[in-house]
Amino acid sequence: MRRSLQWVAQGLSQFASQKRLAILIYHRVLAEPTGRGASIIDASTFRWQMDLIREHFNVLPFSEALELLQNNSLPPRAVAVTFDDGYADNATVALPILQELQIPATFFIATGFLDGGCMWNDQVSESIYHTDQRDISLTDLRLQNLSLHSMADRDQATHYLLKQLKYRSFEQRQQLVAEVVKRSGVSLPKDLMMTSSQVKQLHQAGMEVGAHTCNHPILQKVNKQQAEKEIADSKQQLEAIIGEPVTLFAYPNGRPKQDYGIDHVKMMRRLGFKAAVTTAWGVATAHSDIYQLPRFMPWDKQPDKFMARLVFQYRRTHPELAA
């Protein structure tokens, strides 16, 4: 494996002179592995990933990387680390690792779930994975009946519900999720997301805090007034917590055109943000729209594949997101 890592690292030399910024997306970092979801990693995996990028890349605070990007003066192999949503384990598990390895990161927080809340997708997954029921009938909601006899069944049911509900209207999705929770009989956790104190802790530790709306709606699925209120309120709430301006934003779900549109991009400038990030895969260049920066999720659980994906991403730009 050591040899393969060296080979991958050598591949980076092709892009060393190119001023490109790789922005990594993380969500949850669990203390122990669970096997649930590619976007959820455990502390051990996160640690070796951070070790590798520290050894082979130039890891920068996001705001500093943005300034260097705009000045076309990025160092070679530039990387920024970001987290979305505001899970409590970001503060309890990821932060100590970041501090130990002296790696800066930016945390985009959906403020409506602070202090005991639970995002809709987590309400679904918590209900399905933790219910004692073997079957849940949803046909009266125009959804399939759910068979939950095995872990594979529960994986499939969770995937089905998330896919079915994601692009419903905000109000309809909330109603359907509430019904799934009710029928599961599960009590939702109150400590899944950060507290306001943990957000402040991140800031005091030297980490950057960015906005991610209040209730994590897909912006294309709500009207313009509601979208702007979601964005502006989350910014103001975070500023009240950390006592400093919040100038970075991450679009919920983050796919250009599908999840957010040009009207939302215009809101960024009007509301005083300096930059916004998407989930369009690739790297940012000096030609990128500062309000539509691409990112990608390093989901590989093997070091050589993780490094290979990073190398591949340095080749991937988004001309359609150019300024």
Task: State mean pLDDT over 293-306.
Answer: 85
The set of residues, in sequence order, having a beta carbon less than 8 Å from that of 122 and lying 6+ positions away, is: 188, 192
- Compare 313 and 295 and report the one with higher pLDDT: 295
Helix segments in the chain, DSSP class H: 2-11, 43-56, 62-70, 88-89, 95-101, 120-130, 151-165, 170-184, 196-204, 224-242, 262-270, 303-313
Closest CA to 220 of 249, 250, 257, 180: 257
- CA–CA distance, 66 with 3 (Å, rounded to integer): 33
Does residue 225 sit in the same domain as residue 111? yes
Q: Which two tokens mark 30? A: 């669990």
Instruction: List, for residues 138-185, the tens digit of each pLDDT value.
Output: 999 999 999 999 999 999 999 999 999 999 998 999 999 999 999 999
Residues 84, 222 within the same domain:
yes
d(CA 302, CA 300): 6
Contact between residue 202 and residue 91 where contact means Cβ atoms under 8 Å apart: yes
> Which is more confident, 286 or 64?
64
pLDDT band at 39 (very low <50, low <70, confident <90, very high): low
Do 87 and 133 belong to one domain?
A: no
CA dihedral 110, 116, 119, 120 (to 10 degrees): -150
pLDDT at 113 > cutoff 60: yes
The predicted pLDDT at position 97 comes to 98
Same domain, 179 and 314: no
pLDDT of amino acid 219: 97
Q: What is the distance between the alpha carbons of residues 226 and 232, in angstroms, rounded to a whole number?
A: 10
Q: Tell me what percent of the chain is helix, strand and coil, each rounded to the nearest 5.
A: 45, 15, 40
Taking 70 as the threshold, does the pLDDT of residue 10 lie above it? no
Residue 174 tokens read as: 């909330």
Claim to verify: residue 109 and residue 125 sit in the same structural domain: no
The pLDDT tens digits for 222-250 are 999 999 999 999 999 999 999 999 999 99
Q: Are 242 and 199 in contact (CB under 8 A)?
A: yes
Q: Are residues 206 and 96 in the same domain?
A: yes
Among 166, 184, 202, identify where a domain stops. Answer: 184
C-alpha 173/C-alpha 141 separation (Å) is: 11
Higher pLDDT, 17 or 168: 168
- Other Cβ atoms closer than 10 A to 72: 10
Structure confidence by residue, pLDDT tens digits, 117-139: 999 999 999 999 999 999 999 99
**The pLDDT of residue 300:** 76
pLDDT tier, 103 (very low <50, low <70, confident <90, very high otherwise): very high
Residue 57 pLDDT more than 80?
yes
Pair 295, 165 in one domain = no
Q: Exposed, middle or buried: residue 199 (CB in 10 Å: 0-12, 13-18, 19+)? A: buried
Same domain for 69 and 138? no
Q: What is the pLDDT of residue 301?
A: 77
Closest CA to 125 of 146, 110, 94, 95: 146
Mark whether 75 and 132 lie in a shared domain.
no
Same domain, 159 and 295: no
Query: What CATH code is carried by the domain that includes residue 269?
Result: 3.20.20.370
Does residue 172 sit in the same domain as residue 274?
no
pLDDT band for 298, please (50, 70, 90 cuts).
confident
Give 272's DSSP letter. Answer: T
The two tokens of residue 217 are 């709606």
Predicted local confidence at residue 318, as pLDDT: 65
Number of domains in the chain: 2
Q: Which of 157, 184, 211 is the last residue of a domain?
A: 184
Is the predicted pLDDT of residue 46 greater than 80, yes or no? yes
pLDDT averaged over the chain? 91
Domain stop point among 184, 219, 234: 184
Q: How far apart are CA 216 and CA 36, in angstroms?
A: 21
Least confident of 30-34, 62-66, 225-229, 260-264: 30-34
Provide the pairing of β-strand 208-211 with 106-109.
Answer: parallel
Q: What is the distance between the alpha carbons of residues 318 and 284, in angstroms, rounded to a whole number?
A: 8
Cβ-Cβ contacts under 8 Å for 321 (sequence gap 6 or more) = 256, 278, 280, 288, 289, 292, 293, 294
- Alpha helices, DSSP H only, in 71-195? 88-89, 95-101, 120-130, 151-165, 170-184
> Are residues 196 and 93 located together in one domain of the fold?
yes
| Residue among 129, 103, 227 at smallest CA distance from 186 | 129
Given its phi and psi angles, is residue 193 left (phi above 0), alpha (psi -120 to 50 degrees) or beta? beta
Which residues form the domain of 281?
2-116+192-321
Q: What is the mean pLDDT of residues 27-46?
A: 83
Residue 109 DSSP one-character state: E
Per-residue pLDDT at 2:
52
